[in-house]
């Protein structure tokens, strides 16, 4: 049990931390109101999930769709601001929860620095301008860690149940929350301060199981749809493993950008600090995600954000390692990035070196959709395309346009949410506005384009064009 002095010490951090977190969160919300970027393909897909509430979706568990639906319904608007608004708020909450964990482990100073360092991390800055499953997972993952640690100190059944419930909510946001299981087990093995006892372990597992049961049942009754897609992402499971050292090196290098260069360096140093009991537990809570994704990068490939689960306990560990100058240096670098990211979203498409905007991936999506929808309305036909990015934005931008949008009929396992939910109906026999890179062949040579899409931003040079063809022509090429 912590001493009276430790208890007093860990109570002095919240006011200053809350002031910093609230100020930065408020500034991010203001910046979001002036954001000039379009919703990204994943964001529009999450919004679409929220229009069709379910206990699971093609590629992810359901919590992000539920959250976006709740926020946009309360706001009475589906504008990008409201879709993205939860990001900065959720990361602010996560910072304060991790601050509470840091204060319990290392005192008020560690609690304050944990909250401040976390809320300025590069991946948090990105997650505050774009809504993602990592962001929705973050506060629940942090709460699961906090209540697991509280359970180890108090042995209280209620706190064990809450730890399991929050872990389950994290899992319902993103399956990467599964790293909590090996992390907590390994932490209990090496650090007494993380041992909650068998009774509380069973209670935690029970609460976790209850929380995730709707998604488990949904998967079982939907041909394990999300599990199958997850296996597609872990490419070597289906196609065989590679030995891709450049991929692994690229992934590890990217973590200096994701977690901040000095913060990630501190984390790596922290992984070597085995003598300190507090650090041992945090190492075990942080390292499973980073090791697992590094191996995935070696065997196939891994995106930079796949190891985010490592950085919740990892932030506390990094703060414990860093001295005063190191902390201020890390904060300074992180703040530069944290300010630059929202500024870029406000000034977009500037800067544009060589005529290409730095944020071109987030530009031109709405323009393309509006052009496609106008062409479809002019000819009174549905739109058909196999491109997931175009489909995603067509459903969002065209939500009130009255234009039907179809994806290919896969005739087997769907390759996207759109193929699963909106395949071209077998009975449809009219014309379609097909959006494709190559002109369809309908028996008389390539079809001439039905207009000019005037691509901007991300679509410049991609070669997509509109073609007005009969549905039977499309079916011969599916």
Contact indicator for 134, 174 with CB cutoff of 8 Å: yes
* Cα 429 from Cα 22, distance rounded (Å): 56
pLDDT at 233: 61
pLDDT at 412: 77
Phi and psi of 27, rounded to 5°?
-65, -40
Interhelix angle for 14-33 vs 108-119, to 10°? 10
For every residue of 278-335, DSSP letters joined together read HHHHHHHHHHHHHHHHHHHHHHS---GGGGGGGHHHHHHHHHHH--HHHHHHHHHHHH
- Tell me the pLDDT tens digit for each residue of 391-423: 999 999 999 999 999 999 987 788 899 999 999
Q: Smallest Cα–Cα separation from 121: which of 92, 158, 82?
A: 92
Mapping DSSP onto H, E and C, the string for 112-139 reads HHHHHHHHCCHHHHHHCCCCCHHHHHHH
* Selected residue with higher pLDDT from 3 and 229: 229
Q: Please, what is the average pLDDT of the chain?
A: 93
* Selected residue with higher pLDDT from 329 and 11: 329
This prediction's pTM = 0.95
- pLDDT value at 2 more than 60: no
pLDDT at 229: 64
pLDDT at 83: 98
Contacts of 152 (CB under 8 A, 6+ apart): 188, 192, 193, 194, 195, 196
- Tell me the pLDDT tens digit for each residue of 91-102: 999 999 999 999
Contacts of 348 (CB under 8 A, 6+ apart): 36, 37, 357, 358, 359, 362, 363
pLDDT at 6: 43
- Tell me the pLDDT tens digit for each residue of 270-314: 999 878 899 999 999 999 999 999 999 999 889 999 999 999 999
CB atoms closer than 10 angstroms to residue 241: 13
CB atoms closer than 10 angstroms to residue 186: 18
431-436: strand order across its sheet: 405-406, 383-385, 431-436, 465-470
- pLDDT value at 121 more than 80: yes
pLDDT at 225: 77
């Amino acid at each position: 049990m912590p001493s009276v002095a430790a208890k007093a010490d860990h109570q002095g951090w919240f006011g200053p931390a809350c002031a910093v977190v609230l100020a930065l969160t408020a500034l991010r919300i203001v910046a979001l109101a002036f954001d000039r970027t379009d919703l990204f393909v994943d964001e529009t897909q999450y919004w679409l999930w929220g229009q069709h509430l379910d206990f699971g979706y093609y590629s992810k568990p359901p919590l992000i769709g539920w959250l976006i639906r709740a926020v946009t319904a309360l706001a009475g608007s589906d504008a990008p601001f409201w879709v993205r608004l939860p990001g900065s708020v959720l990361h602010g909450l996560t910072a304060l929860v991790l601050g509470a964990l840091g204060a319990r482990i290392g005192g008020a100073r560690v609690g304050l620095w944990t909250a401040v360092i976390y809320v300025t991390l590069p991946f948090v800055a990105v997650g505050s301008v774009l809504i993602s499953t990592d962001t929705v997972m973050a506060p629940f993952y942090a709460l699961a860690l906090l209540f697991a640690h509280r359970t180890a100190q108090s042995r209280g059944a209620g706190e064990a149940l809450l730890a399991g419930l929050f872990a389950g909510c994290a899992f319902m946001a993103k399956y990467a929350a599964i790293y909590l299981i090996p992390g907590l087990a390994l932490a209990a093995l090496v650090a007494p301060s993380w041992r909650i006892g068998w009774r509380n372990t069973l209670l935690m597992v029970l609460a976790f199981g209850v929380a995730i049961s709707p998604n488990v049942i949904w998967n079982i009754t939907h041909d394990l749809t999300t599990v199958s897609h997850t296996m597609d992402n872990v490419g070597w499971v289906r196609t065989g493993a590679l030995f891709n050292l450049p991929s692994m090196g690229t992934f590890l290098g990217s973590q200096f950008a994701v977690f901040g260069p000095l913060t990630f360096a501190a984390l790596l140093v922290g992984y070597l600090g085995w003598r300190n009991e507090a650090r041992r537990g945090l190492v075990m809570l942080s390292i499973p995600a980073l090791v697992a994704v590094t191996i995935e990068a070696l065997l196939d490939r891994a995106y930079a954000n796949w190891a985010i689960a490592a950085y919740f306990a990892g932030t506390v560990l990094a703060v414990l390692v860093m001295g005063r100058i190191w902390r201020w240096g890390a904060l300074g670098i992180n703040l530069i990035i944290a300010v630059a990211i929202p500024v870029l979203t406000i000034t977009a498409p500037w800067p544009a070196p060589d005529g290409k905007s730095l944020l071109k991936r987030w530009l031109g999506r709405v323009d393309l959709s509006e052009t496609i929808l106008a062409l479809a309305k002019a000819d009174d036909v549905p739109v058909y395309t196999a491109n997931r990015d175009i489909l995603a934005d067509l459903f969002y931008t065209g939500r009130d346009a009255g234009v039907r949008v179809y994806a290919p009929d896969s005739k087997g396992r769907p390759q996207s949410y759109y193929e699963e939910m909106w395949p071209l109906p077998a009975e449809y026999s009219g014309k379609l506005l097909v959006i494709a890179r190559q002109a369809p062949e309908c028996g008389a040579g390539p079809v001439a384009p039905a207009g000019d899409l005037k691509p901007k931003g991300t679509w410049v040079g991609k070669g997509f064009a509109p073609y007005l063809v009969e549905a039977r022509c499309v079916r011969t090429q599916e």
